[in-house]
Chain A
Amino acid sequence: MKSRTIKVDYLARVEGEGKLYVKIKDNTVADVRFSVFEPPRFFEALLRGRRFTEAPDITARICGICPIAYQMSSSQAMESVCGVTVSGPLRDLRRLIYCGEWIESHALHIYMLHAPDFLGYEDAITMAKDHPDVVTQGLKLKKIGNELMVLLGGREIHSVNPRVGGFYKVPTKEDILRFVEPLQWALEASLETVRFTSTLSFPEFERDYEFVSLRHPDEYPITEGRIVSNKGIDISTDQFLDTFEEIHVPHSTSLQAKVKERDDYLAGPMARYCNNFDRLPEVAQKAAKEAGLSEVCTNPFKSIIVRSVETVFACHEALRIVKAYKAPDKPYVEVLPKAGVGHGCTEAPRGLLYHRYEIDDAGIIKDARIIPPTSQNQKAMEVDLRQFVQKNLDLTDEKLTWQCEQVIRNYDPCISCSCHFLKLDIKRD
């Protein structure tokens, strides 16, 4: 009996701490574990007893890469408990700051974390020596996303300005119009990004995913919508826990989610794209087609192209909001606490982010539940790994290890969110 082990003890170019372990026995994958060893931080516990208005500031600290997603999902949940809807220009501003996060996070992943895999570099800094223009363009694009967050949030990471009900302060029309030119450049750069990523070479690998994302009657989903899948799910956000469940496995400090009556599912850019291709603006649809993507993409390695197409959308959407902006009369809608339960669901750059809170009459949080995208995707990552390794047993350990890491990086995992980090371990018997 021949056994072989592939392992990575600390997965690089992902956010947080995770590791991989694959055991191969007699040319068959015997065991696959993607473990998160990020130390638990117990957010759901520490939120109890805090004011409902503190949830956006506290939950932002779950993730330094997608804090806006946390602020938006938690604010939405609190507003739903208290029976308030934020609409008009305030809603547009929320969408705009979220576009900033998508642009920043997608550019970071495409250029700094993912592209080096395809071009054979350890990191973007060494890649910059041979491809200075590519890296410089990526950094500039990323910076425009960050600048949008600075304008609307005060700083790049852990914005201080968003609040339950809207914002503490809204920008003037003049401040916002300053973004027209940079965003026009960003739109061009994102189209160039789609062209660049479509020229990379991709391992052959397809899988029949259940794609789960939001869907909105007339928008590509960011801040709201129903939760849908290509296999028949169509629910409102308050039904999340009836449809999905979380399992605690011994090898991970992150909980793994699945569809109750089925199995693993995929959230994130590929899911949003598949479920909402018809909601993309023409410029993004056209870019996708020219890049050779059909309306559904089932090769997870090509998520880098899908992420680029979504960046085109985010730049286009930000530009639309900026051009149409009229400052609202008040920076926020007054939200008075009311006892009850509320749900919030928005699309973080890396996928669906669900929050549920129970608060009392005084606005004190009694219970909190947060299901981040990376814990939803963890099971799908393990299935991808199992199938990918099985199909690529002829690769050397070195090559297989690198590609296994890539299988995880395809998801742009945010392990601090889910809890922990990546370490790859391939064992061959």
Chain B
Amino acid sequence: MAAVKKPKLAVWKFASCDGCQLSLLDCEDELLAIAEEVTIANFPEASRAVMKGPYDISLVEGSITTPHDEERIHKIRRMSKCLVTIGACATAGGIQALRNFADVNDFVSIVYANPAYIKTLNKSTPIADHVFVDFELRGCPINKYQLVEFISATLNGRKPNIGTHSVCMECKMKGNVCVMVSTGTPCLGPVTQMGCGALCPSYNRGCFGCFGPMESPNTKSLAAWFERLQVPSDDIVRMFRGFNAYAEPFRKESEAHEK
């Protein structure tokens, strides 16, 4: 029997913390098995070896923030059969998208002594604003088991089994006591997509939205509940302006509470 050619996997980085691609190296039990099934063709964080494209699967981490990256993502799209964004930066612009609500020149001069050396765009935008994205893995960081599920599903030609319901549902399924009902702690669980295993409520704190908006988020109703809990409007703005601040439902809700 002829040897089956292994699919080529590539990992690309834009503006990010590296945490989502590190999740692949954090698959301590699965990593060597994954490497048996795919050829790791471009993954600079892990290897010096770089193979030329095209690639079967491209995992893209990070948001677009520079003129150079704005062009680079198109080249990557052209070389990739399936392009998947991994994490909040790539799917929503990340925490660095807070600049989108301010003047980026003010931001540059706060951090750098010689702003003229810095080339940056005035907005941090998700990959899907620039090219077609085949699949999104949410989270800040992503859930590594969702990543393994995605790779495994793709290799087997099936649809990945990854939910789009809310953290609130995950929390109920886990049997947690609701932090909002029991302690009046504001929680983004009802409007945030599942994937973390309702981590924050399990640690007695409110969800702060790492996985971004779920499929049909009623942010308006949740914000009204926050108001009933006496959460000041500045804090409502801050809650929706986290790692997924620029995802539309969160962005609109934060803007609605801005004075």
Contact = CB atoms under 8 A, between A and B. Distances in A.
Contact of A39 (B95, B120, B202): B120
Contacts, number: 180
Interface stretch (A74-82, A151-159, A228-236, A275-283): A151-159
Contacts of A248: 112-114, 117
Nearest to B124: A41
B28 A42 contact: no
A168 B204 contact: yes
Contact of B17 (A135, A156, A416): A416
B203 A154 contact: yes
A119 interface: no
A15 B112 CA distance: 22
B8 interface: no
Interface stretch (A61-69, A178-186, A289-297, A347-355): A61-69
A58 B208 CA distance: 11
Nearest to B144: A156
A125 B107 contact: no
Contacts of A58: 95
Contacts of A54: 238
B110 A154 contact: no
Contacts of B21: 64
A46 B141 contact: no
B96 A14 contact: no
A154 B49 CA distance: 34
B108 A157 contact: no
B82 to A, nearest CB: 21
Contacts of B62: 39
**Residue of A15, A42, A43 with most partner-chain B CB within 10 A:** A42
A65 B22 contact: yes
Interface string A335-377: 0000000000000000000000000000000000000000000
A7 B14 CA distance: 21
Interface stretch (A139-147, A213-221, A305-313, A382-390): A139-147
Nearest to A15: B18
B120 A45 contact: no
Interface in A1-59: 10-17, 38-46, 48, 50-51, 54, 57-58
**Residue of B31, B104, B111, B118 with most partner-chain A CB within 10 A:** B111
B29 A143 contact: yes
Contact of B140 (A38, A128, A158): A158
B31 to A, nearest CB: 7
A192 B44 CA distance: 28
A128 B23 CA distance: 19
B85 to A, nearest CB: 16
A270 interface: no
Given A51-B235, A61-B95, A157-B19, A12 B47 contact: yes
Contact of A13 (B28, B48, B118): B48
A299 B257 CA distance: 57
A347 B174 CA distance: 36
Contacts of B154: none
Contacts of A134: none
A160 B196 CA distance: 11
A108 interface: yes
Contacts of A402: 48
A124 interface: yes
Contact of A125 (B16, B40, B102, B144): B40
**Residue of B94, B107, B203 with most partner-chain A CB within 10 A:** B203
A408 interface: no
A47 to B, nearest CB: 9
A64 B28 contact: no
Given A143-B29, A156-B26, A42 B107 contact: yes
Contacts of B44: 10-13, 421
Contact of B96 (A42, A108, A160, A249): A42
B240 interface: no
Contacts of B14: 39
Contacts of B99: 42, 45-46
A169 interface: yes
Contacts of B203: 154, 160-161, 168-169
5 tightest A-B contacts by CB?
A: A64-B19, A123-B47, A45-B107, A122-B49, A143-B28
29 contacts: A10-B44, A12-B46, A13-B48, A15-B22, A16-B13, A16-B18, A38-B15, A39-B62, A40-B108, A41-B94, A41-B124, A42-B104, A43-B111, A45-B99, A48-B110, A61-B17, A63-B19, A65-B18, A123-B43, A124-B46, A136-B32, A140-B28, A143-B29, A154-B200, A158-B210, A160-B203, A248-B112, A402-B48, A421-B44
